């Protein structure tokens, strides 16, 4: 999950579209693997990534000449794919495969348009258990597998070695506590030079919210109640986690508060921020800037160094044609294999989908090109929980983001802010 915002109203549109319109084209009900098939694939990618996918689609069709694949971006931005899909559900014209942010999973499954792959992924040839647990959980909203992991990531601690050396502060270790992190941030902050120890987004976007979840989890807290119908983030664990961040921002003044969520990473690369909590997408820019940086696991609580992952999906849709469903599954099984993913995610600097990729030559090239990425790959083991895939998550996330922003800017106490967010989230979590 790269930094992004999502239009919350689309969730309601998708639910309204459920049951509206028929399949885009009725086809055979039984599979004929030799029949000619045309697949529509919405990639949601940038122009450069789109070219890579087009090349991979061409490789697949060379192996399977009866299959034709139309690869398009699907929308001008990935964010717009959800709205485009919802319109397609209503009209009955939608793709066989589409990229989807993990936070959309429940909405898509509840539309009634996704394929149920629950039994198919049990085939040993799929290697379903090789995907990180957080990715598998995200792909299984409401107990039904609707697609394959498309991208996995996680948040780690990135630190600027030049700033640490200048202040003679020891580099972070994988055993750091949050108290260690706070103490270092205070030492590294230099108001005269406008250098901050760390940063946090107060844009109230998902970037604001998902940085908060590891602190909540490490303290034993939960985002939702066990039935997924009520907020639980405003527990004492949540209040303590937000109070920690508030103290750093308001009392210590060691936190750069980014109003946009797009500034703190470049400022880190430029040597204005000593530490940021961020993911593998930052490494290319740091490499280009020749920033001297290091990577460590997130600071922990009582030895718990949990992080959060934001897996995205290749979601498969039911167009009423057994052959299209068959080949959509085969294409995604091939793309997400170790060999296929090495040509896709590793080629772009993304984390490998499978641990087995570490034995491939492409992986050795990858870790040389992106220093520190091995630590982020290892950090996948610390992604032990997945963000909820309930249909009200998008709205709830915005309310939590607003609460965090208020607390970090001194506009509300952590308890009051989180309680308000929990109250606002009730209707969304109840399906309203």
Give the CATH number for residue 92.
3.40.190.10
Predicted local confidence at residue 336, as pLDDT: 98
Q: In this structure, is residue 55 part of a structural domain?
A: yes
Predicted local confidence at residue 18, as pLDDT: 43
Pairing mode, strands 255-258 and 37-42: unpaired
Instruction: Give the chain's mean pLDDT.
Output: 93
Please tell me whether residues 161 and 261 are part of one structural domain. yes
Say how many domains are in the chain: 2
What's the average model confidence in pLDDT over 275-294? 95
Quick check: 340 pLDDT over 80?
yes
Inter-axis angle of helices 236-246 and 393-408, to 10 degrees?
Answer: 40
Predicted local confidence at residue 3, as pLDDT: 41
Which candidate, 309, 216, 197, places its Cα nearest to that of 255? 197
Domain final residue, candidates 357, 377, 397: 377
Please tell me whether residues 70 and 56 are part of one structural domain. yes
Domain final residue, candidates 333, 358, 377: 377
To which residue do tokens 């970037």 refer? 207
Please tell me whether residues 286 and 372 are part of one structural domain. no
Q: Whole domain around residue 67: which residue ranges?
A: 9-153+310-377
What's the average model confidence in pLDDT over 297-310? 97
Please tell me whether residues 144 and 161 are part of one structural domain. no
The pLDDT-based confidence of 9 (bands split at 50, 70, 90) is very low
Q: In this structure, is residue 2 part of a structural domain?
A: no
Q: In this structure, is residue 368 part of a structural domain?
A: yes
**Could you give the CA distance from residue 131 to residue 341 in angstroms, rounded to a whole number?**
12
Please tell me whether residues 65 and 211 are part of one structural domain. no
Please tell me whether residues 125 and 255 are part of one structural domain. no
Predicted local confidence at residue 79, as pLDDT: 86
Please tell me whether residues 165 and 17 are part of one structural domain. no
Give the number of residues written for the chain.
432
Under 8 Å between Cβ of 101 and 1: yes
Please tell me whether residues 346 and 407 are part of one structural domain. no
Q: In this structure, is residue 1 part of a structural domain?
A: no
For the stretch 61-93, pLDDT in tens is 999 999 999 999 999 889 899 999 999 999 999
Please tell me whether residues 296 and 315 are part of one structural domain. no
Q: Which two tokens stand for residue 31?
A: 């599979």
Q: In this structure, is residue 207 part of a structural domain?
A: yes
Under 8 Å between Cβ of 240 and 220: no
Please tell me whether residues 28 and 125 are part of one structural domain. yes
Predicted local confidence at residue 5, as pLDDT: 42
> 76 by DSSP, 3-state: which?
coil
Predicted local confidence at residue 390, as pLDDT: 85
Under 8 Å between Cβ of 399 and 424: yes
The pLDDT-based confidence of 16 (bands split at 50, 70, 90) is very low
Predicted local confidence at residue 432, as pLDDT: 55
To which residue do tokens 């940085």 refer? 211
Q: In this structure, is residue 4 part of a structural domain?
A: no
Predicted local confidence at residue 269, as pLDDT: 97
Please tell me whether residues 289 and 198 are part of one structural domain. yes
Q: In this structure, is residue 401 part of a structural domain?
A: yes
Which candidate, 359, 357, 290, places its Cα nearest to that of 149? 357
Q: In this structure, is residue 90 part of a structural domain?
A: yes
Please tell me whether residues 233 and 333 are part of one structural domain. no
pLDDT above 70 as % of the chain? 94
Quick check: 396 pLDDT over 90?
yes
Under 8 Å between Cβ of 322 and 28: yes
For the stretch 176-193, pLDDT in tens is 999 999 999 999 999 999
The pLDDT-based confidence of 26 (bands split at 50, 70, 90) is low
The pLDDT-based confidence of 15 (bands split at 50, 70, 90) is very low
Rounded (5°) CA angle 340-132-2: 80
What's the average model confidence in pLDDT over 242-260? 98
Inter-axis angle of helices 338-348 and 322-335, to 10 degrees?
Answer: 70
């Amino acid at each position: 999950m790269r930094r992004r915002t999502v239009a919350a109203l689309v969730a309601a549109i998708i639910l309204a579209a459920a049951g509206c319109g028929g399949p885009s084209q009725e086809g055979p009900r039984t599979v004929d693997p030799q029949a000619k098939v045309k697949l529509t694939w919405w990639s949601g990618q940038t122009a450069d990534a789109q070219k890579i996918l087009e090349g991979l689609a061409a490789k697949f069709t060379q192996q399977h000449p009866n299959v034709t694949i139309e690869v398009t971006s699907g929308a001008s931005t990935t964010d717009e794919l959800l709205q485009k899909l919802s319109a397609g559900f209503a009209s009955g014209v939608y793709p066989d495969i589409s990229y989807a942010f993990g936070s959309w999973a429940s909405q898509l499954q509840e539309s009634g348009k996704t394929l149920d792959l629950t039994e198919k992924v049990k085939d040993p040839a799929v290697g379903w258990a090789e995907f990180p647990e957080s990715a598998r959980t995200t792909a299984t909203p409401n107990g039904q597998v609707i697609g394959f992991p498309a991208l996995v990531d996680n948040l780690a601690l990135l630190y600027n070695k030049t700033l640490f050396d200048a202040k003679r502060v020891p580099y972070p270790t994988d055993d750091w506590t949050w108290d260690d992190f706070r103490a270092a941030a205070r030492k590294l902050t230099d108001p005269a030079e406008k250098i901050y120890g760390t940063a946090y987004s107060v844009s109230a976007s998902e970037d604001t919210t998902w940085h908060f979840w590891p602190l909540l989890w490490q303290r034993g807290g939960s985002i939702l109640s066990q039935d997924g119908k009520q907020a639980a983030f405003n527990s004492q664990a949540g209040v303590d986690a937000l109070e920690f961040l508030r103290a750093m921002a308001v009392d210590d003044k060691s936190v750069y508060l980014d109003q946009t969520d797009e500034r703190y990473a470049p400022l880190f690369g430029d040597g204005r921020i000593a530490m940021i909590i961020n993911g593998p997408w930052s490494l290319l820019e740091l490499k280009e800037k020749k920033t001297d940086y290091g990577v460590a696991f997130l600071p922990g609580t009582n030895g718990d160094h949990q992080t959060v992952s934001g897996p995205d999906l290749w979601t498969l849709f039911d167009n009423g044609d057994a052959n299209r469903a068959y080949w959509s599954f085969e294409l995604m099984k091939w793309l997400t294999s170790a060999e296929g993913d090495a040509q896709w995610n590793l080629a772009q600097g993304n984390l490998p989908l499978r641990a087995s990729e570490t034995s491939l030559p492409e992986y050795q090239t990858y870790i040389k090109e992106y220093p520190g990425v091995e630590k982020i790959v290892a950090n996948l083991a610390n992604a032990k929980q997945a963000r909820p895939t309930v249909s009200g998550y998008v709205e709830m996330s915005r309310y939590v983001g607003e609460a965090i922003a208020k607390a970090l800017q001194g506009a509300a106490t952590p308890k009051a802010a989180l309680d308000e967010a929990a109250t606002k989230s009730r209707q969304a979590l109840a399906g309203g």
